Amino acid sequence: MGLFLSELVAIDVLFVLAASILAIWIYFQHTYQYWERKGVPYLKPTFPYGNVKVIFKKTLHTTTDAKTWYDELKIKGHKFGGVYTFSRRRLVLVDPEYIKDVLTKDFNHFIDRNDHVDEKNNPKGAHLFNIRNPGWKPLRQKLTPTFTSGKMKMMFNSVLECSNYMIDFMKKDVQDGQDIDSREIMAAFTTDVIGSVAFGVECNSFDNSKPEFLNMGRRLLDGGKFSSLLIFIASICPGIGKTLGALAKDSLPKAFFTEVVRSTLEYRKNNKVRRPDFLQLLLDMHEEPTDSEKYVNFNQIVANTILFFIAGFDTSSTTMNFTLYELARNPQIQEKTRDEINTVLAKYQGKITYEALQEMTYLQQVIDETLRLWPPLISLERICTKDYTLRDTNIVIEKGTAIEISPLGLGRDPEYFPNPEKFDPERFTAEEKLKRHPYVHIPFGEGPRNCIGLRFGLMQSRIGIIRVLTNFKLSISSKTKMPLTVSSQYFLLKSNEKLYLRAERI
């Protein structure tokens, strides 16, 4: 009797399972006709992944897929096209005029970046990058004054000081005859910088016994276990996806950073200590807001210092890492960059100053060319927040549709950058830039929701590169597998291969 009952239960479970799979399949088949029904060109999806190509690894990011979609639509001659991430509809923009419309001209229809964050239950996750309107606009206005050139100058010396630790560390490696692990060294440098200017603490990332900040930063950036499964669930049922996403997140790094902010704020208050950094600017807005609109609460301080850390450390270290890679394999360009740096510094008695950086135009061309080939944020996203008619068409993009833009696809498009694999900073002279549509090179995004930390990111990247080039001559180590290729395991740009450099003291 017992056996018979358990068999019945098993049959019931199987039946429910089969019925659920069938229901999901029917739902997906209906969803997959969406772009066709609207008369939008589209790339053919397959159940259940849609157009996601990198499937069910530990982590999954559609970022490299964004380039593949861009390339496939471009080859077919489309200016835009529909895809699906699992069952989620997504419009990929190819033509720079449409990109300009979405990011800038008609921004009011595309204010939000994503919709997977549960702001109510996760207030410390509601930082500027994730937050949706109506919260985003006032927060952006509050934080914008934190990034003026005046504030950058205030933080300049802290960045310079951190670069000393990096150079000392590299000198030791070189003395011991070791190759330079570029990615690790650049990440340690930017961790020290952001730790200092965002949290007001010394992170000691070059002291191998205590790289706690670096480790916690990496854990914070990790999408967490089961991220591909969660994207799949969120595509069918966003509410459950959000809740599960919050539960699956590694909570330790957030607790760690919250405690750092709390104890630093307490120390500064009790000891009346002031420092020229991001945390102080936020603390002033907390304690002495010039008006109620400028007030930030404790959760906003924590969320945004953590965000500055996330947004600031890996993007800038990636920029430096790939710049050094390109300079190491292009010795003539390396020499020309070093010559410019030395010439400008000679005017400033050998001192690196904020003003000297602005005069290094060739260095900026080198960084621009690096960001063209290796943009740290491989794909940009917006959510349509109000129905919108695409220009010169009758196609209405419905509220809730995700929009995908691929800086990597644009940057490697031979129509805009002939012989795209070639590293050639001459593409970014003022004259050459005028010949191109400005929206084909958008490594910092564009429009009102572009990168708020652009100036700071460029400042720390320039300082890091200047310090390395004035101390070392670089070449690629025989340990590095060339050419570097883009990994799909991370939402920011990362190479599959490790980058080792040979450095010779100058």
Query: Binding residue for ligand HEM (CB under 6 A) from 67, 372, 449, 502?
Result: 449
Asked if 64 and 407 count as a contact pair (C-beta separation under 8 A), the reply is no
Dihedral in degrees, nearest 10, Cα atoms 274, 149, 360, 163: 20
Which of 182, 228, 264, 316 binds ligand HEM (CB under 6 A)? It is 316
- Which residues are bridge partners to 377 per DSSP? 492
| Residue 384, annotated as binding a ligand | no
**Token pair 């740290």 is at which residue?**
376
Q: Does 457 bind ligand HEM (CB under 6 A)?
A: yes
Stretch 79-118: interaction string toward ligand HEM, x if CB under 6 A: ----------------------------------x-----
Q: Is 453 in the site for ligand HEM (CB under 6 A)?
A: yes
Amino acid identity, residue 299?
N
Least Cβ distance, residue 317 to ligand HEM (angstroms): 9
Q: Does 464 bind ligand HEM (CB under 6 A)?
A: no
**Shortest distance in whole angstroms from residue 94 CB to ligand HEM:** 17
**Tokens at residue 407, please?**
């800086």
CA–CA separation, 25 vs 30, rounded Å?
9
Per DSSP, the residues of 337-384 read HHHHHHHHHHHTTT---HHHHHH-HHHHHHHHHHHHHS-SB--EEEE-
Tell me if 446 contacts ligand HEM by CB under 6 A: yes
Contacts with ligand HEM by CB under 6 A: the residue count is 26
SS3 422: coil
Minimum CB distance to ligand HEM smaller for 34 or for 416: 416
319 is a contact residue toward ligand HEM (CB under 6 A): yes
45 binds ligand HEM (CB under 6 A): no
Nearer residue to ligand HEM within complex by CB, 28 or 491: 491
Cα–Cα distance measured from residue 419 to residue 149, given in angstroms and rounded to the nearest whole number: 36
Place of tokens 């491989």: 378
Is 372 a residue that touches ligand HEM (CB under 6 A)? Answer: no
Q: Are 285 and 295 in contact (CB under 8 A)?
A: yes
**Is the Cβ of residue 311 or residue 356 nearer to ligand HEM in the bound state?**
311
Out of 81, 96, 195, 312, point to the residue binding ligand HEM (CB under 6 A).
312
Single out the segment in contact with ligand HEM by CB under 6 A; choices: 71-79, 248-256, 337-345, 449-457: 449-457
Question: What does the longest C-alpha to C-alpha distance in the chain come to?
Answer: 94
Q: Which of 141, 164, 361, 450 touches ligand HEM (CB under 6 A)?
A: 450
Q: Is residue 307 involved in binding ligand HEM (CB under 6 A)? A: yes
Map residue 498 onto helix, strand or coil: coil
List 93, 311, 469, 493, residue binding ligand HEM (CB under 6 A) = 311
The whole-angstrom separation of Cα 237 and Cα 301 is: 31
Q: Which of these ranges, 104-112, 114-122, 229-237, 448-456, lies near ligand HEM under the rule CB under 6 A?
A: 448-456
Identify which range of 115-123, 162-170, 181-189, 444-452 contacts ligand HEM by CB under 6 A. 444-452
Identified binder of ligand HEM from the candidate list 377, 465, 492, 501, rule CB under 6 A: 377
> Residues with Cβ < 8 Å from 491, sequence gap 6 or more?
61, 63, 221, 223, 378
Residues in the chain: 506
Q: Which residues make Cβ contacts (< 8 Å) with residue 52, sequence separation at least 6?
A: 60, 62, 65, 85, 86
Minimum distance from CB of 255 to ligand HEM (Å)? Answer: 22
Please select the residue that binds ligand HEM; options are 456, 472, 491, 500, rule is CB under 6 A: 456
Spell out the long-range contacts of 294-302 with Cβ–Cβ below 8 A and sequence spacing 24 or more: 294/142, 296/142, 299/123, 299/124, 299/126, 300/126, 300/127, 300/139, 301/261, 301/265, 302/124, 302/257, 302/258, 302/261, 302/262
**Is 140 among the residues that bind ligand HEM (CB under 6 A)?**
yes
Nearer to ligand HEM by C-beta: 467 or 502? 467
370 lies in the binding site for ligand HEM (CB under 6 A): no
Which residue of this chain has its Cβ atom nearest to ligand HEM in the complex?
445
Residue 308 is a binding residue for ligand HEM (CB under 6 A): yes
Q: Tell whether residue 261 is a contact of ligand HEM (CB under 6 A).
A: no
Using CB under 6 A as the binding rule, whether residue 314 contacts ligand HEM is answered as no
Q: Write the CA distances from 318 to 164, 315, 326, integer angstroms.
A: 19, 5, 12
Instruction: Name the segment binding ligand HEM (CB under 6 A); options: 22-30, 61-69, 340-348, 438-446.
Output: 438-446
Amino acid found at 162: C
Question: Smaller CB distance to ligand HEM: residue 43 or 282?
Answer: 282
Residue 445 makes contact with ligand HEM by CB under 6 A:
yes
Q: Establish if 503 lies at the interface with ligand HEM (CB under 6 A).
A: no
Q: Which stretch binds ligand HEM (CB under 6 A): 6-14, 167-175, 224-232, 442-450?
A: 442-450
- For residue 223, the Cα-to-chain-centroid distance in whole angstroms is 13
Q: Is 499 helix (H, G, I), strand (E, B) or coil?
A: coil
Phi and psi for 492 in degrees, rounded to 5? -100, 165
User: What is the 3-state secondary structure of 47-77?
Assistant: CCCECCCCCCCCCCCCHHHHHHHHHHHHHCC
Per CB under 6 A, 317 contacts ligand HEM: no
Binding site for ligand HEM (CB under 6 A): 113, 128-129, 140, 307-308, 311-312, 315-316, 319, 376-377, 380, 443-446, 449-453, 456-457, 461
> Which residues are annotated binding-site positions for heme?
451
> Which residues are annotated binding-site positions?
451
